[in-house]
Amino acid sequence: MKRRFVSLALVAILFTPVSVSADASGPDYFRVVGVASNDVLNIRAQPTARSAKIGAIPPYGDGIQNLGCQGGLTYAQWESASPAQREAAKKRVWCRINYRGVYGWVAGWFLAEGSAR
């Protein structure tokens, strides 16, 4: 009886519809936020402010393709972090992007969900 139950459970798992959802790594596209109107968001060769600047995005830039971010806190770490720790962690996020054919890294704290444009 136990073997039959395990077999039925396995069949149920294998044939249960699975919903496919978007990747949890963030939005498909970003837009620039928090950059002064007379400034730009620098695109860097590597995920550090000391890396070579390879491009720039205007302060109103949108349609920035998200190729993945790194740094910051995991969700579990964020849940247990203090507000000060959460704010400090934002300054460690770098995102690999494509903006009008320029591939590089930008500081993630200047990005918010955008549109494909």
Distance between CA atoms of residues 43 and 113, nearest Å: 18
Residue 41 pLDDT = 98
Write out the residue range of the structural domain in which residue 83 sits: 23-113
Per the structure, the count of domains in the chain is 1
Tell me if 90 is assigned to some domain.
Answer: yes
Return the CATH number at 83. 2.30.30.40
Q: pTM for the complete prediction? A: 0.74
CA distance 94 to 71: 6
Residue 65 near residue 29, CB atoms below 8 Å? yes
* Residue 114 pLDDT level (bands cut at 50, 70, 90): very high
Mean pLDDT throughout 61-78? 93
pLDDT tens string 4-58? 443 434 333 333 333 333 344 689 999 999 999 999 999 999 999 999 999 999 9
pLDDT at 117: 78
Residue 11: what are its φ and ψ, rounded to 5°?
A: -60, -40
